[in-house]
Structure 1
Amino acid sequence: MSYQVKLDTFEGPLDLLLHLIDQEEMDIYDIQISKITDQYLEYLDTMQTLQLDIASEFLVMASTLLSIKSKMLLPTRNEHSFQGSLSLVIEEEDPRDELIRRLIEYKKFKEVSFFLKEKEISRSKIFTKAPSDLSLFIETEEVNPVEGINIYHLIEAFQKALKRYSYKDPITRLKREEISIKDRMNHILQMLQSTKHDLFFSDLLKDITDRSDIVVTFLSLLELIKQKQIICIQKNPFDDIIIRYSPPYIRGGNIHGL
């Protein structure tokens, strides 16, 4: 069997240099340029041995490393500048400074790219969809025409009717035939059926002058509401109460009296 060698892939020469620096646990601000250059060239030789294409940027970095290495081998030359009695020592710039600056910048971008890659992987595990229209599944309640009206509204109307038709006791009393609740109920239904329109509560009391008839009329309305033969509607507080006939097909539905 043939011996196989697998090399790590790098984005570019700076990526390879960072790998070598980390592998040797070097301080990026104090690179051992001679050692790193030798390892870098060994990597390129291995790529040539495996007949791999070497990008031109890797070769440019190799020449840069050799140039820095040669400058590091030269003795340091200090220039003295004399100004009167003051002597200044001007030191040459470290030939590694430009390379170190590029490596630090590249390392920053590489760390950011790793961070964004992790965010991309975590976000790819989240699936979203546009909100669906669920209004068709919401149960809707039919409008109740007598909502907000209760027995106390009828009582208030009854009290107003009593005050409106109050009178002094007459000097003489005439006996009259009493109207039963059943007869008054039939009379109200006949009025509603004959007119085919709504009636107002005040209309039923328009021609009544006797207190007992008012009471009978009020009790008849309550009984008709109880039997669901009529419904009462008051659009606004203190308005006259509307009396509406409730046919059998409506009484079997959702509309109810008070």
Structure 2
Amino acid sequence: MIQGYEVKLETFEGPLDLLLHLINQYEIDIYDIPVAQITQQYMDYIHTMQYLELNVASEYLVMASTLLAIKSQMLLPKQEFEEDDMDEAYMDDPREELMQRLIEYRKYKEAAEALKEKEAAEQQVYTRSPVVFEFKDVPIENTNTGNVSVFDMINALKKMMQRNQWKEPQDTVIQRADIPIEKRMEEVLQQVINSKDGVLFHALFPVPTKSYIVTTFVAILELMKNRQVYAMQEQHFEELYVYKMEE
């Protein structure tokens, strides 16, 4: 069994990333966050991450506590305010601080992405030597890592378990020994290579035991981190496919 696997991908940076992912996924107005809904979805992700034995950083749990506290405050009876007190009432909105943090973080993310795109574009600009007139075919490195984040993968796994009623898959008495992560990576990679049209994410989990599910999920993450496979999804909530990274 894999203990405390730490996920460290570009798309998996912290609780604010998860909240922004949920806001985009469910098309939520960031200026009017439905706290009960976002808290439930957030906790579902945390529970799935814990089930997968991923190393859930303490900051995720702190955010969970923050959301639950805001939810509790939102449930308190609302006071009636005079017109002159409306601005003060707005400032007392328990969601205000979280909303501002999300807005600032989204600006930071967008700026970082813009710089990343600019850097990638500049890398495609080549200057020709004024003396040596030689032209060679320069292969362009494939940078396609898909449009799927780890959060999308966790959601796909959660849906698969619910669809197959695997809410708590149990290891059966008669089962094969735990598969080493390296061996499962080889199996997944070979399955993806053999399919030109990509492999459905849920097709990579034929055995409904916890050890197999966790090992397979981590194997896919490792293959993505090693840039051997990537995942794609047409739209939110649609089927997720895994493809071989082109060389």
> Fold conserved (TM > 0.5)?
no
Instruction: Give the shorter-chain TM-score range.
Output: 0.3 to 0.5
Q: State TM-score, norm by structure 1.
A: 0.43
Q: State TM-score, norm by structure 2.
A: 0.45
